[in-house]
């Protein structure tokens, strides 16, 4: 497949782009920054919030799918979050319809349901939206856009609610929420190649013994995670915030203060 990866220079993008290439996909990168030295595939430097720039990229490339990883990965003000995650997603989806690109794989987040109490048990894809921050609100809204375009335009759209993407887990919470680099590539590849998923949600975590989220939605799409955070459990030290971070599935985000811009900003 010829796949546009937005946020290709980001932490997940730097792993997913070579991983997809190794699996035989023809990757095109897109980011706000120039291509890193030695990048072996096509690259566009553009802002995904700029609808005209996005349309120009999709007009220039004959694509089979978009993997949308671009976006600020932390809590900021509500306007910033909506621009970064909702406006960008809408620009891409509009351009996809205009240029007959049939599938999006979207990097959503566990923070879309982050305020769900852990006492509610293992979360399925049917969990009601329950964001823990403005970041989580933006992810919920972006997922709603994917559902809209799947319903109205027949696009295939897979929302991957990513847990803790790390080289290895470093906290007790991450023993439940970890997504390994290798499994991140497997997850995106499965979401790209699953036959006719329509609109689907999966939880982007590895096959963790202590998993908080149901892996079955991903397995139905062909995602077979191979790593388990338990392999690192003996390296993870207990911390003073472990109990608080386990109260809600969003961990520290669920109790953090919202980011509000200064008056006059």
**Residue 173 to residue 170: CA distance in whole angstroms:** 8
Burial group, residue 78, by CB count within 10 angstroms (0-12, 13-18, 19+): middle
Q: Which residues contact 127 (CB under 8 A, 6 or more apart)?
A: 113, 116
> DSSP string spanning 120-161?
G-SB-TTPPP--SSHHHHHHHHHHHHHHHHHHHH--EEEEEE
Q: Helices (DSSP H) in 99-241: which residue ranges? A: 134-153, 174-177, 181-193, 216-220
Closest among 191, 181, 203, 197 to 68, alpha carbons compared: 191
135 tagged catalytic: yes
Selecting among 135, 223, 232, 253, the annotated active-site residue is 135
Q: Identify the CA nearest to 173 among candidates 183, 184, 163.
A: 163
Q: Beta strands of the chain (E only): which ranges?
A: 2-6, 26-31, 42-45, 65-68, 103-109, 156-162, 164-165, 178-179, 199-204
Phi, psi of 208 (to 5 degrees): -75, 135
Length of the chain: 265
Task: Please identify every residue annotated as catalytic.
Answer: 135
């Amino acid at each position: 497949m010829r796949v546009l990866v937005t946020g290709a220079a980001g932490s997940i993008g730097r792993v997913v782009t070579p991983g997809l290439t190794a699996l035989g996909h023809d990757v095109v990168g897109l980011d706000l920054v120039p291509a890193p030295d030695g990048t072996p595939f096509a690259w566009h430097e553009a802002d995904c919030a700029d609808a005209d720039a996005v349309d120009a990229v999709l007009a220039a490339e004959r694509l089979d799918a978009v993997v949308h990883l671009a976006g600020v990965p932390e809590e900021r003000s509500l306007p910033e979050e909506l621009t970064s995650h909702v406006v960008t997603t809408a620009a891409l989806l509009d351009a996809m319809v205009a240029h007959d690109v049939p599938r999006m794989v979207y990097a959503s987040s566990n923070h879309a349901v982050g305020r769900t109490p852990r006492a509610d048990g293992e979360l399925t894809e049917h969990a009601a939206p329950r964001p823990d921050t403005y970041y989580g609100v933006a992810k919920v809204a972006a997922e709603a856009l994917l559902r809209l375009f799947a319903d109205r335009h027949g696009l295939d759209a897979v929302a991957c609610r990513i847990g803790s993407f790390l080289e290895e887990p470093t906290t007790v919470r991450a023993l439940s929420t970890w997504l390994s680099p290798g499994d991140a590539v497997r997850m995106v590849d499965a979401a790209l190649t699953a036959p006719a998923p329509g609109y689907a949600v999966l939880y982007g975590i590895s096959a963790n013994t202590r998993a908080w989220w149901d892996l079955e939605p991903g397995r139905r799409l062909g995602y077979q995670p191979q790593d388990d955070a338990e392999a690192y459990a003996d390296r993870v030290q207990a911390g003073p915030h472990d109990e608080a971070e386990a109260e809600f599935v969003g961990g520290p985000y669920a109790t953090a203060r919202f980011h509000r811009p200064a008056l006059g900003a």
